[in-house]
Amino acid sequence: MNTKELKTALLQLKYPKIERTLEELKLIGEVKVSAKSANIELLTVSDDSYLSVKKLIEDRLENEFEHLNITKKSQAKKDMNYGSSMAPNNRAPYAKNVIAVTSGKGGVGKSTVSTNIAIGLAQLGYRVGLLDADVYGPNIPRLTNTDLERISWNDENKIVPAENYGIKIMSVALTTPKMDTPLVWRSSVAVSALIQFLEDVAWGELDFLVIDMPPGTGDVQLTMAQELPISAAVLVSTPQLVATDDVSRAVMMFKDINVKMAGIVENMSYFIAPDTKHTYHIFGQGGGAKIAQKYNIPFLGEIPLDMQIRENSDKGEPPVALGTPEVQECYKSVVQNILQNAKFNL
């Protein structure tokens, strides 16, 4: 087997447990055959990936050469000098504006609101990217009907984001072999992955980068405030007291780290019975507006508890694009209020 034959064989090997070749993943560097020895350079970044590919090659070529010298090319380390919330870095210079959508607790519909805000902005003619920063519960691909897609790389070795409904989409769920693959990561690994999504994705020029944050007030929120000049934060709550208690903590966190708030969205605000048309406030009434008044931040609007919103979202058909006119108007009104309440660079 000569050098050309060896490289061709290597490029056709499939990465363990992933239906992609080493050529597609751009993992093979220099290859050289001399006498009965083969020198192979791998372009893997992590030690785990290097060892996996090394074993794969050794298993396939153990009878072809007397000696296999498989090395890992030294990669220049990325700048991991974190900024501060007072003087944040800008790891997304391609985005004119960054909107962080967050909540104090899970289960309030934050990802659904994030998706519809991003698409609502695109409907107004803006160039929009949607980053799913909820690495442990990444729902954006399902909500945007991109859950069956997997990442690829362009000629500049940048990750190509998924696209649908006029927006560009990136989520850790697009990198896993299957949708139900759990990410058992420490927070430092999750933060590093998100920084890679900011820097190594071919976003192109964006008017808005909308970030769907994880719930709570932890590492990801703090890191995003340190690594990006966030233009505005949008907080999502339900009217329920336990939800407004938690969103109050999120409000104070953003005040402490000097992030401006566009306002609060009250999700699952009310339910209109389809038969009687009577309105029921299942989770309470006015909680979001009271929090907005208490902390002197804008109230962006109410989103109903509506069966069609749930059904459309589960099918990857965002309500702002494919819902009834009444439901579409709820989200479009929120988007307009965000644009009015925050000072964006447009």
Structure confidence by residue, pLDDT tens digits, 208-244? 999 999 887 778 888 888 899 999 999 999 998 888 8
Residue with tokens 């029921």: 280
Fold for the domain defined by 3-72: GMP Synthetase; Chain A, domain 3 (3.30.300)
pTM of the complete model:
0.78
Where does the chain hold its CATH 3.30.300.130 domain(s)? 3-72
Q: How far is CA 196 from CA 52, 84, 96, in A?
A: 22, 18, 19
In this structure, the strands spanning 261-266 and 162-164 are unpaired
Q: Average pLDDT in the 180-209 region?
A: 87
Contacts of residue 60, Cβ cutoff 8 Å, sequence gap at least 6: 9, 13
CA distance 160 to 228: 21
User: What's the pLDDT score for residue 119?
Assistant: 98
Instruction: Cite the residue boundaries of each domain of the chain with CATH code 3.40.50.300.
Output: 95-341
CATH number for domain 95-341, candidates 3.40.50.300, 3.40.50.10310, 3.50.50.60, 3.40.50.970? 3.40.50.300
- Average pLDDT rounded to a whole number, residues 240-250: 87
